[in-house]
Amino acid sequence: MVTKIGAAVPRAQSPDLPLGLWFGRVAAIRAVLYDFGGVFTRSPFAAMEEGSDDLGLERELVFEVLFGPYDADTDHPWHRLERGEISLVDARAELLALAAGRGLEHDPFTFLSRLAGEDDQRAAVVERARAVKASGVRTALVTNNVAEFGDGWRRMVPVDDLFDVVVDSSQAGVRKPDPAIFGAALDALGVTAADSVFLDDYAGNVAAARRIGLRAILVESDRLRAFDELERLLAETG
């Protein structure tokens, strides 16, 4: 049974000591928190960069229009979409207006269509995550996502087999990097930041997790390397 987190979201509490250090030793890891896009799929940020390059567009400009200042939580339409405050239709209209105002004639959503392509690492990532859960470690998905995409991403992985808890920003009403979204997952799992680790493909989210005491791993283009690091950490602290 997967626990889904709704609108009531508690604030995360920072541990007294950073990065899981208790009484001079590293706390054993009891829980793993995962991002979705960029961990169980190719990175949406990489897809945006590839699309920008193909069209001869400036990566930074496309990123700013589509995602806004992603390491902050603002009133940018993509952020409000991820918090479930506006519909996909309304967000797309606002993004098209932003794009036009910056001289971009392309629909920003076309850059995300690349995520539907072949992913030669997903099956291996799923099996590695399944093994982590089977070892007795508690698991949660902590995803900035879009309500209208929910059925689609849930068909991509065996959600019930991989996660004890799912915190979807569009249902919880809060998004990374807000510490409250991490707090919601930790509370639902019955663990603390000090005995948990988080995997994400966006450096700003990794930094936000570390600020509240989570150990965190940045997932890069070879996503399996992040699982190598995770497994080493689990072995070292087990």
Whether residues 37 and 155 fall in one domain: yes
Whether residues 217 and 154 fall in one domain: yes
Whether residues 133 and 200 fall in one domain: yes
Whether residues 210 and 93 fall in one domain: no
pTM of the model: 0.89
Taking 50 as the threshold, does the pLDDT of residue 12 lie above it? no
CATH number at residue 224: 3.40.50.1000
Is 108 or 105 the better-scoring residue by pLDDT?
105
Q: Residue 188 belongs to what H/E stretch? A: helix 179-189
Largest CA distance in the chain: 57
Whether residues 59 and 161 fall in one domain: no
CB 91 within 8 A of CB 112: no
Whether residues 93 and 167 fall in one domain: no
Whether residues 27 and 143 fall in one domain: yes
pLDDT reported for residue 16: 37
CB 155 within 8 A of CB 95: no
The residue from 55, 81, 116 where one domain ends is 116
How many independent structural domains does the chain possess?
A: 2
Taking 90 as the threshold, does the pLDDT of residue 120 lie above it? yes
For 52-91, the pLDDT digits (tens) are 998 899 999 999 999 999 999 999 999 999 999 999 999 9
The residue from 116, 136, 168 where one domain ends is 116
Whether residues 135 and 227 fall in one domain: yes
Taking 50 as the threshold, does the pLDDT of residue 125 lie above it? yes
Whether residues 163 and 224 fall in one domain: yes
SS3 breakdown of the chain: % helix, strand, coil, rounded to 5?
50, 10, 40
CB 185 within 8 A of CB 27: no
Confidence of residue 26 (pLDDT cuts 50, 70, 90): low
The residue from 84, 116, 148 where one domain ends is 116
Angstrom distance (rounded) from CA 58 to CA 124:
33
Percentage, residues of the chain above pLDDT 70: 89
Domain that holds residue 31: 3-42+120-237
Whether residues 22 and 76 fall in one domain: no
Whether residues 111 and 14 fall in one domain: no
Angstrom distance (rounded) from CA 127 to CA 150:
22
Whether residues 128 and 106 fall in one domain: no
